[in-house]
Amino acid sequence: MTAADDVFGQSPGASTDDVARLAGVGIATVFRHFATKTELLEAVLTLRLERIRDRALELAGSDDPGPAFFEFFTQVVSESASKLAIAEALTAAGAAAGEEAREAGRGMREAFSGLLTAAQKAGAVRADAEMPEVYALLIGASRGATAAKLDPETRDRMLALIYDGLKPRR
């Protein structure tokens, strides 16, 4: 799974063979667990979504909800390029994300909503920003960074503008 995550994160058009090679196992071993490349892609996407969700849940326990919210936002945007690439490879293969990936996605949104509420209570995010538009911003920043192939510096400057819009008015 780690090999698959590496390979597909870099080049979603890679073959199952490439995955097996990096994992140092025979291709038969990969196919014993995943009947098709689509199944393998789905498993990798689910793993990525679960990791992001777990990071959100971990940050939700933070004593400092403001930085926790912004750290999570930054992390999702930074990692979006490979996650989106995998999701798009699935779509191109004619497959929708399976139930497990959708469940991980739901868990991620819930955890993000929790981080937002806590950051608002702490006065780090304006109280009048609601989940739908803040989530839309997260998706937009992720897709924008990916589509425009932003270098990290421009990405961080874009995020700084977004964060200023999310902070309470003075």
Residues of this chain that bind its own copies (CB under 8 A): 129-130, 132-137, 139-145, 147-148, 150, 154-155, 157-158, 160-166, 169-170
- Give 33 or 157: the residue with its C-beta nearer to its own copies: 157
State the nearest-atom distance from the C-beta of 31 to its own copies, in Å: 28
State the nearest-atom distance from the C-beta of 133 to its own copies, in Å: 4
Concatenated DSSP letters of 53-116: HHHHHHHHT-S-HHHHHHHHHHHHHHHHHHHHHHHHHHHHTT----HHHHHHHHHHHHHHHHHH
Best CA proximity match to 125, nearest among 80, 76, 169: 169
- Give 67 or 144: the residue with its C-beta nearer to its own copies: 144
What is the separation, in whole angstroms, between the first and last Cα of the chain? Answer: 48
- Give 30 or 166: the residue with its C-beta nearer to its own copies: 166
State the nearest-atom distance from the C-beta of 162 to its own copies, in Å: 6
Label residue 2 exposed, middle or buried (CB < 10 Å: 0-12, 13-18, 19+): exposed
Question: Other CB atoms closer than 10 Å to residue 134's CB: what's the count?
Answer: 21
State the nearest-atom distance from the C-beta of 169 to its own copies, in Å: 7
State the nearest-atom distance from the C-beta of 14 to its own copies, in Å: 19
Q: Give the phi and the psi of residue 169 in degrees, each rounded to 5.
A: -65, 145
- Give 62 or 117: the residue with its C-beta nearer to its own copies: 117
- Give 31 or 135: the residue with its C-beta nearer to its own copies: 135
The encoded tokens of residue 86 equal 């995998």
